[in-house]
Amino acid sequence: MALMPFLLYSDGKGNIFEDVTLYACGRSGWDAMDIPSEDWIALPNGGQLYELPGRRGIGIDVQTGQMRLCEKGWAVAAFIPPAYTGSFLAAYESLPHAETLPLFCYTAAGWQDEKFYVTALRIEQDIRQEAAGFDENLIDKGVDTFLHAYPHNRLVKHLAENCCQTYECPASRNYFMGRWECPVPTSPACNANCIGCISFQPVEETIYSTQDRLTFKPSAEEIIEYTVPHLETAPYPIVSFGQGCEGEPLLMYKTIEKAIKEIRKHTSKGSININTNGSDPKAVKILCEAGLNSIRVSTNSVRAEVYNPYYRPNNYQFEDLAESLKVVASYGGWSSINYFVFPGITDSEAEYEALRKFIKATNLKMIQWRNFNIDPDWYMEKINMQHTGAAIGIRQMMSLLRAEFPELKFGYFNPSIERINGSFENDFAQ
Ligand code: SF4
Among 101, 93, 45, 46, which Cα is nearest to 71's?
Answer: 93
The mean pLDDT of 110-123, rounded to a whole number, is 97
**Are residue 338 and residue 374 in the same domain, yes or no?**
yes
The CATH number of the domain holding residue 403 is 3.20.20.70
pLDDT at 277 over 90: yes
**Are residue 22 and residue 157 in the same domain, yes or no?**
no
Last residue of a domain, one of 79, 96, 122: 122
181 lines ligand 1 (CB under 6 A): no
Structure confidence by residue, pLDDT tens digits, 21-32: 999 999 999 999
Pairing status of strand 409-411 against strand 366-371? parallel
**Are residue 350 and residue 301 in the same domain, yes or no?**
yes
Element (H, E) at 222: helix 220-233
**Are residue 38 and residue 145 in the same domain, yes or no?**
no
53 close to 98: Cβ distance less than 8 angstroms: yes
Number of alpha helices (DSSP H) and beta strands (DSSP E) in the chain: 12, 21
Ligand 1 atom nearest the C-alpha of 247 is: 3
What pLDDT is stored for residue 239 in this prediction? Answer: 98
**Are residue 221 and residue 82 in the same domain, yes or no?**
no
| Residue 129 Cα to ligand 1 middle (Å) | 22
**Are residue 32 and residue 158 in the same domain, yes or no?**
no
Q: Is 428 part of a structural domain of the chain?
A: no
pLDDT at 424 over 90: no
248 lines ligand 1 (CB under 6 A): yes
**Are residue 117 and residue 71 in the same domain, yes or no?**
yes
Q: Is 355 part of a structural domain of the chain?
A: yes
Q: Is 430 part of a structural domain of the chain?
A: no
pLDDT at 428 over 90: no
**Are residue 206 and residue 251 in the same domain, yes or no?**
yes
What pLDDT is stored for residue 430 in this prediction? Answer: 73
229 close to 150: Cβ distance less than 8 angstroms: no
**Are residue 331 and residue 388 in the same domain, yes or no?**
yes
**Are residue 80 and residue 149 in the same domain, yes or no?**
no
Pairing status of strand 181-184 against strand 238-241? parallel
Q: In whole angstroms, give the CA distance from residue 280 to residue 255.
A: 15
What pLDDT is stored for residue 185 in this prediction? Answer: 98
Total Cβ atoms within 10 A of residue 275: 26
Last residue of a domain, one of 98, 122, 146: 122
Number of domains in the chain: 2
Last residue of a domain, one of 93, 122, 151: 122
**Are residue 156 and residue 272 in the same domain, yes or no?**
yes
Q: In whole angstroms, give the CA distance from residue 174 to residue 134.
A: 8
Q: How many residues does the chain have?
A: 430
Ligand 1 atom nearest the C-alpha of 311 is: 6
pTM recorded for the entire structure: 0.96
247 lines ligand 1 (CB under 6 A): yes
Region of 307 (left: φ > 0; alpha: ψ -120 to 50; beta: rest) is alpha
The mean pLDDT of 335-364, rounded to a whole number, is 98
**Domain region containing 91:** 6-122
**Are residue 137 and residue 105 in the same domain, yes or no?**
no
Quote the percentage of the chain above a pLDDT of 70: 100
